[in-house]
Structure 1
Amino acid sequence: MRVPEWRLMELLDIEHRGRVLRGALHTPQTTPAPAVVLCHGFGGNRAEFGYAFVRLAERLARRGIAAYRFDFAGCGDSDGEFADLTVSDQVEQAVAVLDAVGAHPAVDPARVSLMGMSLGGLTASLAAVRRPVRALALWAPAAAAAAMGEEGAARRAAAIEANGYDDFGGLPVYRAFAEDAAAIDPFADAAGHTGPVQLVVGSNDFVLPPDLIEEYRRLYGDRLDLHVIDEVGHGFETVPAREHLLDLTEAFLAKHV
C-alpha cells in the first residue's frame, strides 16, 4: 500500500554529550524543505499531549514543511536520567538538534524554525538566541520555571530539602533543575531572536499568568502573534481548543518558515 507523501517519516537519532536523543523526522515529498524542530514539555515526549506533535508534524508535511520531533535527554526513548534534567541542558540539546536537522539532506538549512510546548517553549525561546531561526512558535511557555516568586521558590526549596524533590503534578523537580532555573532570566535571555513569534495560551493557564504574558509582549513587541484560547488551561484540555491550537500554529509556520 502506498504511503501518502505527508506521512513520510524516518527515525533520526542525534548524539549529544554521549547521549542519544531519539526522534522522528517527517518530510514532504519535495526536498530540501523548510523545517521546524518541535520541543516537548516537562516530563513529556515527542508525541506531546493528545499526539499533538504527531498531528502537527503531519499537517506541516502536507504543507511542504519538514518537522522533527524528539525526546529530550531523560525523557521518552532518549538516553539520560530524568533527575539530571535542567533548562540549560535542554537548550544545549535543542541547539545540537537544530544543527543536525539543518545538516540533513532533506532540509534547507537557511529555513529552520523552532516551536515548543511549556518547558519546551521556554527552551525554544532561549535556543532561538543561539541559532538564527526563521520563526518561533510557543505553546504556553513555562517562563515561570525560571521566574518563580520568592514564596514559590522558598516552598520548592523546602520540599527539595525535605524529600529530595518537589512534586510538580506527579513529576519530581530536583535540586539541579531548581538551581539552574534560578540563574535564568526567561525574558532577557531570550531577547536575541529577531523573527516572528507566535504565543498561544489558555485563558485559565496557571503556568503562564497575565503578568508573564505581558512580559512576552514587551519582549517581542509587534513581532508577537498572541492568541488566548478561552476556558482552557495549560494543556488546552478540550477537543475544540486543541484543534484551534493546531490550526493557528500550522497557519503561522506555513506563513513564516
Structure 2
Amino acid sequence: MPTEPVSIQTASGHTLAGSLEMPTGLVRGAALFAHCFTCTKNSRAAVEVARALAREGIACLRFDFTGLGDSEGDFGKAGFVTDVADIAHAANYLYQRFGTAILMVGHSLGGAAVLAAADQLETDTVAAIATIGAPSDVPHVLSNIDGDLDAIRETGEGQVKIGGREFSLGKDFIERTSAVDLLEEVGRLRKPLLILHSPTDEVVGVDHASTLFAAAKHPKSFVSLAGADHLLLDDADAHFAAMMIASWAQRYLPLKEDWPLPAEGVVVKSGHGKFGTEVHSARHRFIVDEPRDYGGDDTGPTPYDLLNASLGACTSMTLKMYADRVGFPLESVTVHVTHERDYHADCENCEKGVRIQALHRKIELHGDLDQSEVAELLEIADKCPVHRTLEGKLEILTERIS
C-alpha cells in the first residue's frame, strides 16, 4: 500500500512527523493511530493496525508524539496534555483532508490520550474510538518511569529511564500527567468504543480495561487479546488486533454515497499508488494491482490474473452444473490457467505481423469417473460461456462519459 509522509504543524510551532497509509483503492474513511508511551509511529502495533485499516479502504495516519521519533519538540517537557493536543492536531488534519469523521485508535498511553482527545474534539470529527492495552488512570504511567520523581518535582528537571532509554524529564510532565481524570472524560463520551486488552498484560493489567468499560456508555465492545504481551511484539498478536479493529470499524465508517455501485456489470476506478485500482460490482468490491517488480504494490491480483480466473471459474462452474444435471460422480474440479503472450510467435503459417496469444488450461477432475465420463466433461469444458466469448467474435466498444 502507498505510504505518504505527512508533516503537521502544532500550535506550539513545532512539527509532528507522520506516515499516512493510503488504501490501494478508494478511500472509505480515515483514522489515526496514537502509539504507546515512548514508542514511535514505527512500532509493530502502529504499522500493523494502520496497514490493516488501509486494506479495508481506511486511510490511517500513524505519527510521532512531540519529541519522539521524527517529531520536533521536547518530550521531557511535554506530558500527557501535549499528547492530547498532538492528537487533536492530527485529527483535525485528517478531518480537513478527507472531509469525514475519523476513527481514533490508541495503544497503551496513546489509548488513554485518544479517549481524552475525543472528549475535547468537535462531535462531528470523531466517528469511533478503539484502544489497545490502555490504562484507566493516566498517572499509572508514572509507575513505569525509573527515576526519582520527587526530586524532579523539587528541582524542576532530572534524568530518568523509560523502557531502558534515558530521558530528561521536567516537573510539568509529572504534574500534568498526575492531574488527569480520564474516567470522567470517558463517561462523557457518546461515541462507539472498542477496548482490546490482554488478560496477561503485565504492564497495564486487564482490570484497567474493566474500569474503562464500566465508565463508558454504549455502544461499547471488548476483545480479549489472550496470550499477547503489552507491546504486541508477536506478529500474530499485532495482526489479530489490527484485523479486529478494521472489521469493527466498518460498521461506523460506511461506504460513501458517491462510490460507484453498478446495477449490472462492473465499475473500475483508479485508486492510489502507481497501479492501484478498485473494481465494484453490485455486491462486491476488490483491488487489482501489479507486482512490485512492475512498480505496483502487489495488493491484489493483476488484470491477467482476473482474465485467467474468469476462464477457470467459468470452467469449474460449468462442469459442476453439467455433472449434477446428468448424475456424474464428480466431487470437485481444479483448473490451472496460465497466459502466454507469444504463442506461436514464430509460426510459419501464421499471418505475418499478427501476434497470437494463448490461455493454457489444465483440468483436474476429482471423483469416481470412468473414461467416457471424463471425455464428456472435457468436451463440455470447451462450451463454458467465457470460453465461447474468448474464442468467438468479440468486439470492445469504447465511449467517453463526460
TM range (shorter): 0.7 to 0.9
Partner residue in 2 for 1:223: 219
Partner residue in 2 for 1:25: 20
Partner residue in 2 for 1:66: 59
Which ranges in structure 2 are unaligned for 5 or more consecutive residues?
254-402
Could you tell me which of 121, 136, 149 is aligned with 1:157? 149
Partner residue in 2 for 1:196: 192
User: Residue 54 of structure 1 aligns to a residue in which SS?
Assistant: helix
Partner residue in 2 for 1:4: none
Could you tell me which of 66, 77, 82 is aligned with 2:70? 77
Structure 1 residues 195, 83: closer, same or farther in 2, change over 3 A? same
Distance (whole Å) between structure 2 residues aligned to residue 60 and residue 234 of structure 1: 21
Distance (whole Å) between structure 2 residues aligned to residue 62 and residue 229 of structure 1: 21
User: Residue 110 of structure 1 aligns to a residue in which SS?
Assistant: coil
Partner residue in 1 for 2:109: 119
Q: Between 140-149 and 130-139, report the one with greater CA deviation.
A: 140-149
Q: Report deviation, 1:159.
A: 6.1
Distance (whole Å) between structure 2 residues aligned to residue 134 and residue 74 of structure 1: 28
Contact conserved, 2:186 with 2:216, CA < 8 A, in 1?
no
Partner residue in 2 for 1:3: none
Structure 1 residues 166, 145: closer, same or farther in 2, change over 3 A? farther
Which ranges in structure 1 are unaligned for 5 or more consecutive residues?
1-6
Q: Report deviation, 1:143.
A: 3.3
Superposition TM-score, scaled by structure 2 size: 0.55
Distance (whole Å) between structure 2 residues aligned to residue 156 and residue 56 of structure 1: 35
Could you tell me which of 11, 14, 36 is aligned with 2:5? 11
Could you tell me which of 175, 178, 186 is aligned with 2:174? 178
Q: Between 204-213 and 110-119, report the one with greater CA deviation.
A: 204-213
1:67 maps to a residue whose letter is C
Instruction: Please give the per-residue CA displacement for 1:91-135, whole angstroms capped at 9, x wherever unaligned.
Output: 11111111111111xx1x233110011111111010111223111
- Greater RCO (CA < 8 Å, at least 6 residues apart): 1
Contact conserved, 1:144 with 1:208, CA < 8 A, in 2?
no
1:194 maps to a residue whose letter is R
2:13 maps to a residue whose letter is G
Contact conserved, 2:32 with 2:60, CA < 8 A, in 1?
yes
Q: Report deviation, 1:71.
A: 0.9
Residues 1:205 and 2:211 are matched in the alignment: no
User: Residue 181 of structure 1 aligns to a residue in which SS?
Assistant: helix
User: Residue 242 of structure 1 aligns to a residue in which SS?
Assistant: helix
Partner residue in 1 for 2:36: 41
Q: How does 1:234-245 map to 2 (within 5 A)?
A: 234-245=230-241
Q: Percent identity?
A: 23
Distance (whole Å) between structure 2 residues aligned to residue 152 and residue 102 of structure 1: 34
Superposition TM-score, scaled by structure 1 size: 0.84
Pick the structure with more helix per residue: 1
